[in-house]
Homo-oligomer: A and B are copies of this chain.
Amino acid sequence: MAAHYVAVIGAGSDVAPALLAEAEEVGAALARRGAIVVCGGLGGVMAAACRGADAEGGLTLGILPGDDRSAANAWVTVAVATGLGELRNGLVVRSAEAVIAVAGEYGTLSEIALALKAGKRVVGLGSWKIPGVVAAGSAQEAVTLALGTRD
């Protein structure tokens, strides 16, 4: 079992190409560190992070809102079809020890809030400015802030 699980959260659609590239690099950097990428399993930032991790041979966990596993993006290694709707956001947060938010809207905000409530490290890349969120200037910095110097 991998040592670290980090959630990468953000919007599922209408994401600017530059942000998608950031999310993909976040996923890749996490995989290179041996971390499992946890996400909501759908498109946009989630798919980009999974694609990045997959390209580096990493594992990805997609925790889907619906009960149909086929909704998962193509780079999800293991999918959980929860059927919980937005309540699955809480499972994304619980399954991870740190969270990296790439931009994002209300769903992302709910995950940021739940992670901060649980005392988990939350790193933001162009995301909600909420007290407690640590801002990163690049994908690499985000991953370093999320994982620290742990192996």
* List of B residues within 8 angstroms of A86 by Cβ: 90, 114, 117-118
Interface string of A74-98 (1 = CB under 8 A from B): 1011111111111101110011000
Q: Contact check, B1 vs A72: say whether CB atoms are below 8 A apart.
A: yes
CA distance A113 to B94 in the complex (A): 17
Of B69, B72, B80, the residue contacting A91 (CB under 8 A) is B80
Q: Is A19 an interface residue (CB 8 A)?
A: no
Of B59, B69, B76, B87, the residue contacting A90 (CB under 8 A) is B87
Q: Which applies to chain A's interface (DSSP): helix, strand, loop or mixed?
A: mixed
Q: Is A110 an interface residue (CB 8 A)?
A: yes
Of B59, B82, B84, the residue contacting A78 (CB under 8 A) is B59
Of B63, B85, B114, B132, the residue contacting A80 (CB under 8 A) is B63
Q: Contact check, A69 vs B5: say whether CB atoms are below 8 A apart.
A: yes
Other A-B pairs beyond A61-B78, A69-B95, 7, CB < 8 Å: A1-B74, A1-B77, A63-B80, A79-B95, A87-B90, A87-B91, A110-B114
**What are some 7 contacts across the A-B interface (CB < 8 A)?**
A81-B95, A86-B90, A86-B114, A86-B118, A87-B87, A87-B90, A113-B113
